[in-house]
Amino acid sequence: MSGAGVWEAPGRVNLIGEHTDYNDGFVMPFALPRTVVATAARRDDGILRLRSADAHGGPVELPVAELAPGYGPGGWSDYPAGAVWALREAGYPVGGADIEYQSTVPAGAGLSSSAALSVVTALALTDLYGLGAERERMALLCRRAENEYVGAPTGIMDQMASACCVEGHVLHLDTRDLSRRLIPFDPAAHGLRLVVVDTRVKHAHSGGEYGKRRAGCEAAARALGVPALRDIAYAELPGALERLPDSGLRALVRHVVTENHRVERVAAALAAGEVRAVGPLLTEGHASLRDDFRVSCPELDLVAETALTAGALGARMTGGGFGGSVILLAEESGADAVLDRVVRAFTGAGYGEPGVFTAAVAGGARRVA
């Protein structure tokens, strides 16, 4: 235990397994080298003082003992305040702190800047107060913070990715029991490039639509008599679809069941060193999110379609959808040409300049000083 230090927690890209985590399914994120950095020191007066280099306005000061959902000014500080609240609620003797944040994770890009903010806070406080919370425990508490303190009904993927990823690997995670496998992932070693294209678009209705999809999945699971859609095996899909009268629910089930299956196929391809085989599975995933789950948008579709037309091996939206980012997999030799086409098509459609960067496969949250 020491009185001050610096910690960082990464944003993530989800390679495959979208909208499966709140269905007890499978996901496969990896951490980006873009992080939220927290410079933190203990305070003995029980005050949590939060300051963000990126947000407007002065510091937010909150007594740890008073933290409760709905307390505080709302906005970005709800994420760290929620993480501290969740630690306290779980019985950890957490006290006050001065924390200053700086982020290189683009906000609203579908790359989990908010999970990075909560996880770095949980890690900093755990170290500052010697709380001994394990990574998995931190991730669960940060999800609780997001669900109950912030009020966003997310799954566990983003928090687990930020807390538990390991450099050079994807995290193949079973979100039911949190069992996981690290699979080496190094596109460059195979002559490939994985690129993130951030549309810099975030549609305002995204939060409400997310909750509706989740509620629809839960309704479908109830109608099918299973605890969660994860319990419908791929081979059982045709029978399950026949038993559902509602076409909207059928489409949700079709996405979740085929997406879980795609995660397993990507895991098998990576384990066999067949990285190129991942491309078409990304593209299939995008079609399923666009047509069945209906969480894509014209900006994401344009990037994904243009990338494929220009020769990418695969492309799909990543994250919750309704804006945010597309990932595309391309031969290294052709990647620049693909990106050139994508950027020209995107700006040509009047959407503004997208953010484009190569997705390096980085590690999870850690103390840096």
Catalytic residue positions?
Answer: 158
Q: Cβ of residue 326: shortest distance to ligand GLA, in angstroms?
A: 14
Closest CA to 173 of 70, 28, 310: 28
Asked whether the beta carbons of 123 and 9 are under 8 A apart, the reply is: yes
Closest CA to 254 of 301, 222, 216, 298: 216
Asked whether the beta carbons of 96 and 64 are under 8 A apart, the reply is: yes
Q: Cβ of residue 3: shortest distance to ligand GLA, in angstroms?
A: 33
Asked whether the beta carbons of 329 and 278 are under 8 A apart, the reply is: yes
CB nearer to ligand GLA: pick between 157 and 224: 157
Does 10 bind ligand GLA (CB under 6 A)? Our answer is no
CB nearer to ligand GLA: pick between 95 and 320: 320
CB nearer to ligand GLA: pick between 193 and 262: 262
Site for ligand GLA in 39-98 (CB under 6 A): none
CB nearer to ligand GLA: pick between 327 and 338: 327
Does 284 bind ligand GLA (CB under 6 A)? Our answer is no
- Count Cβ atoms below 10 Å from residue 61 Cβ, excluding itself: 14
Closest CA to 50 of 124, 108, 142: 124
Ordered DSSP codes for 120-148: HHHHHHHHHTT----HHHHHHHHHHIIII
Does 157 bind ligand GLA (CB under 6 A)? Our answer is yes
Binding track over 300-339 against ligand GLA, x by CB under 6 A: -------------------xx-------------------
How many residues touch ligand GLA under the rule CB under 6 A: the total is 10
Does 155 bind ligand GLA (CB under 6 A)? Our answer is yes
Sheet holding 192-202, edge to edge: 314-318, 323-331, 192-202, 355-358
Q: Cβ of residue 283: shortest distance to ligand GLA, in angstroms?
A: 17
Near ligand GLA by CB under 6 A: residue from 18, 198, 284, 299: 18
Q: Cβ of residue 318: shortest distance to ligand GLA, in angstroms?
A: 8
Count helices and strands (H / E) in the chain. Answer: 10, 13
Q: Cβ of residue 290: shortest distance to ligand GLA, in angstroms?
A: 14
